Amino acid sequence: MEQPNVIDTVVFESGSRRACMESRLVLDSAGIASHVVRQGGLWQLVVAGRDGEVAVSELSSYLQERQSEKQPVVSTVTKYGGATWGVVGYVTVLVVIGAASLSESSRPVWQAIGRMNAGQVMAGQLHRAATALTLHADIGHLLSNLVFGGVFGWLAGRILGGGVAWLTITSAGVFGNLLNAAMRPAEHNSIGASTAVFAALGVMVAHALRPRTMTNQNAMQRYSPLIGGVLMLAMMGLEGDRTDVGAHITGFLAGLLMGAAAARLPEVWLRSRWFQASAGAIAIGIVVAAWAIAIATAKVSSGASPS
């Protein structure tokens, strides 16, 4: 049995010959001569005494690299307050406007002045991109958007704070409707909060795509949130006789864009109650201002305002 020379240095030992041979390959790649011997029931990797320090350093670096590759990606997502209050605001706005606009007598008037008509939007009535988000065809349509919008909005509120999340979602919903209007024929009409619902999905995907750690990820791991978001969009937003597919897609894309910007806001801003409250107030203000403009400029055949 070969024994290590007294001038040689043992730089690695293990009960596994395979582990010892793996370490030998590491040293071979670094140009350090070594050999494996068995001593006292252990496999030992031996180098010349003059190479001992360098060999130990090479093996240590290799082991540290292996450990870092094996470490799981640790989520560092910070949670913020106001998510529930944000959903309360969303539900309140939709329910109040729904109660006023879903009766047989009031529905035609509200939809005439508030729906997203592509031709009218492109002619300058940009407020319709916001008012249309609050109108619904019937109770079922409203309830569906209350449920899914509430869930997505609450989740977005957890990662951005309730006020910032809903300002981002509302802005993305409006922008999504504007994009949809630009791509549609002039006679196209659209109503419903679903553009904002899918904007909320896009906001969450954009936030999840933002790199937060230095851990190594392959392409599938890195872009899995985007893949998941697109699959959810396909399952929930591309079917149904009355589904406005274009609005769902543009809402999702607008959510990705604005969500990416919101995800980069300073943490000190997102932790600020004043900042969150201000953002939430602006979100509600967008809707209120849009309806104020719609009512002020309404010209229906009867000359009446919605009631």
For the chain, residues classed under CATH 3.30.70.1530 are: 8-70
Whole-prediction pTM value? 0.73
pLDDT at 298 over 90: no
The rounded mean pLDDT for the chain is 87
Query: What is the number of residues in the chain?
Result: 307
For the chain, residues classed under CATH 1.20.1540.10 are: 83-296
How far is Cα 294 from Cα 292, in angstroms, rounded to an integer? 5
The stretch 90-98 carries a mean pLDDT of 97
CATH no. for 8-70: 3.30.70.1530
Q: Enumerate residues 6+ apart whose C-beta is below 8 A from 197.
A: 145, 148, 149, 152, 251
Confidence of residue 305 (pLDDT cuts 50, 70, 90): very low
Confidence of residue 1 (pLDDT cuts 50, 70, 90): very low
Superfamily of domain 83-296: Rhomboid-like (1.20.1540.10)
In eight-state DSSP terms, residue 133 is G
